[in-house]
């Protein structure tokens, strides 16, 4: 029997400062109980809606900033990330991606899978999604 004590699913919509508009028909995050499932973020500048130039380093930095903005808007902290899925269009970028990625988790790294793909939306070279633990779900 499913656990119903976690409460209803909360769909967290866009329109919050620092959070870019989604590139497709989805919300940025869904919370259920004390878990926050964050949609894969693209390297889009929240102000312009354009993919940032500069290759995998600049795009990873923007993706992680977008993830942090979504998580914070939901009442969470990036440091409470439990699981990450990263998608790269060129696996030759793996080491460079990792160098930027680890800067966002100074207190400790979450579990992660990194997947090579043939393409991503809006011509991006990197996309990352997360599962985050929410310490105080009433703030979400």
Q: What are the residue numbers of the active site?
A: 114
Q: Please name the residues in contact with 3: beta carbons below 8 A apart, sequence gap of 6 or more.
A: none
Q: How far apart are CA 54 and CA 35, in angstroms?
A: 33
Q: Which of these, 103, 102, 63, 109, lies nearest to 82 by C-alpha position? A: 109
Please say whether the beta carbons of 129 and 38 come within 8 A: yes
Identify the three-state secondary structure at position 38.
strand
């Amino acid at each position: 029997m499913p656990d119903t004590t976690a409460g209803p699913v909360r769909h967290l919509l866009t329109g919050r400062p620092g959070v870019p508009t989604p590139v497709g028909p989805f919300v940025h995050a869904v919370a259920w109980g004390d878990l926050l499932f964050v949609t894969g973020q693209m390297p889009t500048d929240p102000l312009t809606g354009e993919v940032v130039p500069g290759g995998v380093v600049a795009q990873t930095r923007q993706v992680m900033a977008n993830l942090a903005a979504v998580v914070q808007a939901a009442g969470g902290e990036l440091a409470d990330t439990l699981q990450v899925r990263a998608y790269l269009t060129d696996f030759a970028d793996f080491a460079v991606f990792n160098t930027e990625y680890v800067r966002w988790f100074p207190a400790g790294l979450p579990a992660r899978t990194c997947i090579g793909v043939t393409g991503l939306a809006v011509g991006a070279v990197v996309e990352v999604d997360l599962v985050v633990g929410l310490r105080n779900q009433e703030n979400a």
